[in-house]
Amino acid sequence: MTVIAAATAASTLAACGGGGDDSGGGSGGGDSSANEASDIGITETSIKLGAHFPLTGVAAPGYSEIPTGAQAYFDCLNQAGGVNGREIEYIYRDDAYNPSNTSQVVNQLVLEDEVFAIVGGLGTPTHSAVLDFLNSEGVPDLFVSSGSLLWGDDPETNPYTFGWQTDYMSEGKIIGDYIAENFPDAKVGLFLQDDDFGEDGEAGIREYIDDQIVAAERYTPGNTNVGPQIAALQAAGADFVVGFNVPSYTALSQLTALQLGYDPQWFYSNVGSDPTLVGNLLNNFSQGQVSDASLLDGALTTDYLPTVDEPDNPWVQEFQRIWDECGGEGELTNYRIYGMSQAYTTVQALQAAGQNPTRDGLVEAIETAGSEWEGPVLAPFRYSADSHMGTAGMSISRITGTTTEQVEPVQLTDIGDAEIESYDGEPAEVPENGIPNEESVVD
């Protein structure tokens, strides 16, 4: 799996601002003063983008909200004039978190719908099924909703694919460093999804606290009995457990630990830690015996985006306005914030690609300008010709009820032997119109 968790800009020109400047400019596009049908999925008036998400099935809770956030942002953008006078046509299809379905829907998006690019396709096992196809077809494969290294560490093999969120290895390094500094005597157990998600996270953690780890237990997605894994961690004497798991397995691990009378310090990766969703899952799985996320009180987690429990954050306020004006049913959630933030980066990429973008020009624009983009993401991107990795850092927070409190500011790192350092950058200002300032994203 592996997505990260988390997710989600006003409906009128005054609220959403003027994104309709058709003066052109930027790398990767033409120099014409008029819009042209410059590539597949690009007309004089529209840009067609596609995505795959689990709108149904076991992974739908939470993750199905991500594209609704992106859709709300694009709808507000379109009402404000779009990108260089083109509206975004956003088509997202259901793959039910099944790789076979992913192959079918992405083939449809590319060959029948003829999208210009795929944006934000969700999940490691699902998106892995279409990685080779998209790159062989020369389709920009932007900002995959997963922290696998597959999306960014080998641009030579996958030149059209880009990550977006912090990768799991870098997250593991930041977590391991925090434990080494603050819990040097802890006996650490690992609760891991048995795929790249867990493997990458474990590799990062072990760079810093290999000698503190007393057990590493893995679960297979779909097998809901995690009793043997949690019991094994307890038997090993682990008094600090780090979980690289999806939200449903956060709930399952908490319920199992409660049954066993096991109460270690918990640290869940960003993917599995949304307290509102976990609280709903706890209520469902326990048939109402546990009605909220109170079991998570005191657990630690990581962040790379602002969250809904920060109502004074300017980005959250902007996203709330966008959801109120252009969103659908339901409330603003972290998953919708994720989708809106991803859409914001997508607009930066399209702006940087110029007035009449091409697929290859879009890739070049991200490699050239992407590392300088600012926005809601808490840390810089790592985009270049040599790296298509996404954001480079995370903060660490403690969960209390449905809110979190930061306990360590943003730390930066990269895969491999890159060291960890504190980020001294200032939070990016929200553009007055809710749309990236074009002069800040072009080369």
In the sheet with 87-94, reading across from the earlier edge strand, the strands are: 87-94, 46-53, 117-119, 141-142
- Rounded percentage of the chain residues whose pLDDT exceeds 90: 86
> How many CB atoms sit inside 10 A of residue 422's CB?
10
Contact by Cβ (8 Å): 213, 240: no
- pLDDT score, position 118: 98
In the predicted structure, residue 186 carries a pLDDT above the cut 60? yes
- pLDDT score, position 4: 35
28-32, 50-54, 249-253, 334-338: least confidently modelled range: 28-32
Going by the DSSP 8-state scheme, the letter that residue 108 receives in this structure is I
What is the C-alpha to C-alpha distance for residues 103 and 126, in angstroms, rounded to an integer?
A: 8
Q: How confident is the model at residue 58 (pLDDT cuts 50, 70, 90)?
A: confident
Q: Which residue ranges make up each domain of the chain?
A: 13-166+310-391, 168-303
Query: Which stretch of DSSP H or E encloses residue 368?
Result: helix 359-369
Q: How confident is the model at residue 1 (pLDDT cuts 50, 70, 90)?
A: very low
Which residues, at least 6 apart from 67, have a Cβ–Cβ distance to it below 8 Å? 51, 53, 55, 90, 92, 120, 339
Q: Stretch 83-96: mean pLDDT, rounded? A: 97
pTM over 0.75: yes
Span 13-166+310-391 CATH architecture: 3-Layer(aba) Sandwich (3.40)
> How many CB atoms sit inside 10 A of residue 285's CB?
16
- pLDDT score, position 437: 87
Give the amino acid at 52: H
What is the C-alpha to C-alpha distance for residues 114 and 50, in angstroms, rounded to an integer?
A: 9
SS3 145: strand
Same topology between domain 13-166+310-391 and domain 168-303: yes
What is the C-alpha to C-alpha distance for residues 308 and 313, in angstroms, rounded to an integer?
A: 9
Which CATH number applies to 168-303: 3.40.50.720, 2.60.120.1440, 3.40.50.2300, 3.30.428.10? 3.40.50.2300
**What are the tens digits of pLDDT across the range 387-406?**
999 999 999 999 998 889 99
Task: Tell which phi-psi region holds residue 230, choosing left (phi > 0), alpha (psi between -120 and 50) or beta.
Answer: alpha
Contact by Cβ (8 Å): 293, 401: yes
Helices then strands, each counted (H, E), the chain: 13, 12
**What are the tens digits of pLDDT across the range 136-170?**
999 999 999 999 999 999 999 999 999 999 999 99
Which residues, at least 6 apart from 358, have a Cβ–Cβ distance to it below 8 Å? 28, 29, 38, 39, 42
- pLDDT score, position 5: 36
The two three-digit tokens of residue 197, written as one number: 């998600």
**What are the tens digits of pLDDT across the range 207-263?**
999 999 999 999 998 899 999 999 999 999 999 999 999 999 999 999 999 999 999
What is the C-alpha to C-alpha distance for residues 385 and 366, in angstroms, rounded to an integer?
A: 9
b/e sequence 175-190, b meaning 16+ C-beta within 10 Å: bbbbbbeebeebbbbb
